[in-house]
Chains A and B, each alone.
Chain A
Amino acid sequence: MQIKNGKDFWAGLMFLGFGLAFVAVAQNYPMGSAVRMGPAYFPTVLGGMLVVLGGMVFFRAFVSKFAHPLKVFTFRPLLFVASLVVGGATYFYFADSQLKDAPTLQMLQFTLVGLALFLFIGAFGPRSMFLILLAVVIFGYALKPLGLVLATVILIVVSAVGGHDFRKKEIVILTIVLVIFGVFVFVKGLGLPFNLWPGE
């Protein structure tokens, strides 16, 4: 057997994975009956359908008349496995511990989850995607502690590095314009509750 259509191969695997995961997790909830459906009923049915469809797409990869190479996008298995290890370990290690009273442990968990996430995102696709999504996540978590101005600077600069054509002068001007725009439109104009600077 030879894989003819790489896109179908991966898509089939993806649907199979999602389907199985939803069915498996749904088994933690009561199933109910057809008359009184429990919370597990609908997801189990849908998950089962997804598994069947995923299987069809997967099978089609071997008989397809469209040829696509197996390498559809850059995939770094090492980072992928690493992200699963870090994420899984964090999930199980912190599952029962009381984090409310231990800020250091909380910080540690937060850092590890973040690391797992970045490893996961970094496992797929081009460099530009990693930098853009990195910029977005940092912006989200930096907005409150650092304030809108610094968070915007980080977002623009990091995401601009992700492009092909990084021009320092332009980015400096763009950042200044967008910071001013953000302060006046988002905060002053629309009244969004952002602090401008750290610790405000």
Chain B
Amino acid sequence: MDFALIHNLGIGFGVALSLQNLMYCFFGVLLGTLIGVLPGIGPVATIAMLLPVTFNLSPISALIMLAGIYYGAQYGGSTTAILVNLPGESSSVITCLDGYQMARQGRAGPALAIAAMGSFFAGCVATVVIALFAPPLAEVALKFGPAEYFSLMVLGLVGATVLAHGSLVKAIAMTILGLLMGLVGTDVNSGIARFSFGLSELSDGIGFVIVAMGVFGFAEIIANLEQGEARDVFVNKVTGLMPTWKDLKSSSGAILRGTALGSMLGILPGGGALLSSFAAYTLEKKIGDTSMFGKGEIRGVAAPESANNAGAQTSFIPLLTLGIPSNPVMALMIGAMMIQGIAPGPQVMTERPELFWGMITSMWIGNLMLVILNLPLIGMWVKLLTVPYRLLYPSILLFCCVGVYSLSNQPFDVMLTAVYGLLGYIFVKLECEPAPLILGFILGPLMEENLRRAMLLSRGDATVFVTKPISGVLLGIAVVLLLITLAPAVQKTREEAFVE
């Protein structure tokens, strides 16, 4: 065992175990479970809402709390999926299939228990994965110049589009639209306020929170209201949490496979909890006895629930080592770091080790808290589910509005969020995935800056992106990814996979 690792983990536990940070960690996972359980509000909107609050916290407390919300939501989401057949979180969609069937057969307790145990195991493994893999990656990243960064961002965006639902062309178009929207505001090099239509409110650019809250928060509420309310809660049927010996035996393999797959897919650009859970379920359906899938197979709960938690946590790796967000939640984490005056990137690990390792160890502690929160207290969360949506959504709206307004105390921001809500609704209706748009939005200015610098350094020679080894490899991977997706066989399975 590497001695430096133990030393670093020591630093981390020293930070994460302080009373204040334990408190914020607890608050984060509690809130995460809460919004995970409640359908109609996800981690993106919640973290966006809480960003202004983190102004007054220390950087490490802020990050610990926000991270807790994300992986906490993965625990909470399964509860709703199993008991109500509604995904509390988008990454729990797949858990509904078998989880709800188990609940109907009166086995909600074991399903919930296995989901929590699988998540906990996955969380522990993912924490170790981050601790092992992040430092060497950060070392590589320190050698990156503008050309490499540009290519890396191209790869990230390609990854996000390839993994998006539905049409590839639309996903690429959404990415580019996001990049363009990210360019609104004052250009750093020339000082010209671009696309601002003379509005002073736009000269600083459009806030990320505004786009995220509008496209994810408001648009989701509108879509939910349009669908109407149909719930069938198995509230009183949760009896006996303990899974049988047979359950444990058959799900242990699924948990292992889900964790491994989730840990890998979380690292990918564009990856994270959602993709991991889908992939794990698909894999599980190809192994062993598949006759029970869709009819209450416990492996169908264990695998995706382990995978989504593992994926949620390992998606912190690109953020912490490269400073590049792999999904919208990570983009918000970057926002939170910038509020605190920390430039995300490989230097964070060397310059602020207490921040990096404190956050990683807090994840393990947070997972421990989550098991305790979710298993014995399950009754409390179930009660929450009986709150009807007609009371829930006005409350969510209030939180969103207050969150947006307090960013800079401008009514204009709230108005702009409403406009993005409208856009988000149109995107949903036209089957245009918003996730690539958000990623493009974040990366737009960064990409332009690195492109300009790289071209200046190479005196206008665009071939640097290919001739520099690291940059060339990154672009090569991006091209291969695109080609694979365009291959007819993959196109066909993509269509089938998303129809399911």
- A residues contacting B by CB (< 8 A) are 7-8, 10-11, 14-15, 18, 22, 25-26, 29-30, 33-39, 42-43, 46-47, 49-50, 53-54, 56-57, 60, 72-73, 91, 117, 120-121, 124-126, 128-129, 132-133, 135-137, 139-141, 143-144, 152, 155-156, 159-160, 162-167, 170-171, 174, 178, 182, 186, 190-193
Contact = CB atoms under 8 A, between A and B. Distances in A.
B170 A57 contact: yes
Query: Number of contact residues on B: which range applies?
Result: 35 or more
Nearest to A158: B394
Nearest to B196: A25
B398 A155 contact: yes
Contacts of B432: 11
A49 to B, nearest CB: 5
Contacts of A136: 218, 397, 400-401, 414, 417-418, 421
A134 to B, nearest CB: 8
Contact of B422 (A10, A129, A162, A182): A129
A18 B177 contact: yes
A142 to B, nearest CB: 8
Interface in B372-395: 390-391, 393-395
Given A50-B176, A143-B405, A155-B401, A42 B448 contact: yes
Interface string B454-469: 0110011010000000
B460 A117 contact: no
Given A14-B426, A30-B190, A39-B189, A50 B177 contact: yes
A185 to B, nearest CB: 9
Contacts of B413: 140
Interface stretch (B113-121, B220-228, B244-252, B363-371): B220-228
B180 A50 contact: yes
A165 B390 CA distance: 7
Interface SS of B by simple majority: helix
A128 B455 contact: no
A133 B422 contact: yes
Interface in B444-460: 448, 451-452, 455-456, 459-460
Contact of A37 (B218, B418, B455): B455
A139 B401 CA distance: 8
A198 B195 CA distance: 35
A27 to B, nearest CB: 12
Contacts of A72: 429-430
Contacts of B404: 140
B221 A132 contact: yes
B192 A39 contact: yes
Contacts of A43: 180, 183, 194-195
B426 to A, nearest CB: 7
Contacts of A38: 190
Interface of B: 52-53, 56, 167, 169-170, 172-173, 176-177, 179-180, 183, 187, 189-190, 192, 194-195, 197, 218, 221-222, 225-226, 228-229, 390-391, 393-395, 397-398, 400-402, 404-406, 409, 411-415, 417-419, 421-422, 425-426, 429-432, 448, 451-452, 455-456, 459-460, 462
B193 to A, nearest CB: 9
Given A29-B190, A72-B430, A166-B390, 19 more contacts: A7-B430, A7-B431, A26-B195, A42-B448, A43-B195, A50-B173, A57-B170, A125-B422, A128-B225, A129-B222, A132-B397, A133-B218, A133-B422, A136-B400, A156-B398, A170-B391, A178-B395, A191-B56, A192-B402
Lowest 3 CB-CB distances: which A-B pairs, in order? A140-B414, A35-B460, A39-B187
Contacts of A191: 56
A139 B394 contact: no
A152 B222 contact: no
11 contacts: A7-B430, A34-B462, A43-B180, A50-B176, A129-B225, A129-B226, A140-B405, A143-B411, A163-B225, A174-B395, A178-B398
Contacts of B394: 155-156, 159-160, 171, 174, 178
Given A140-B411, A162-B225, A133 B395 contact: no
A125 B425 CA distance: 8
A6 B365 CA distance: 50
B105 to A, nearest CB: 31
Contacts of B414: 136-137, 139-141
A149 to B, nearest CB: 12
A57 B190 contact: no
Contact of B176 (A46, A133, A155): A46
A132 B225 CA distance: 10
Contact of B190 (A11, A39, A140): A39
Contacts of A26: 194-195
A35 B180 contact: no
Given A46-B179, A137-B414, A35 B169 contact: no
A152 B398 contact: yes
B430 A174 contact: no
B398 A182 contact: yes
B444 to A, nearest CB: 8
B451 A37 contact: yes
A53 B192 CA distance: 28
Among A30, A39, A164, the most chain B Cβ lie within 10 Å of the Cβ of A39
A18 B183 CA distance: 13
B411 A144 contact: yes
A33 B462 CA distance: 12
Given A155-B394, A163-B225, A35 B190 contact: no
A144 B397 CA distance: 18
Given A35-B455, A43-B180, A190-B53, A125 B398 contact: no
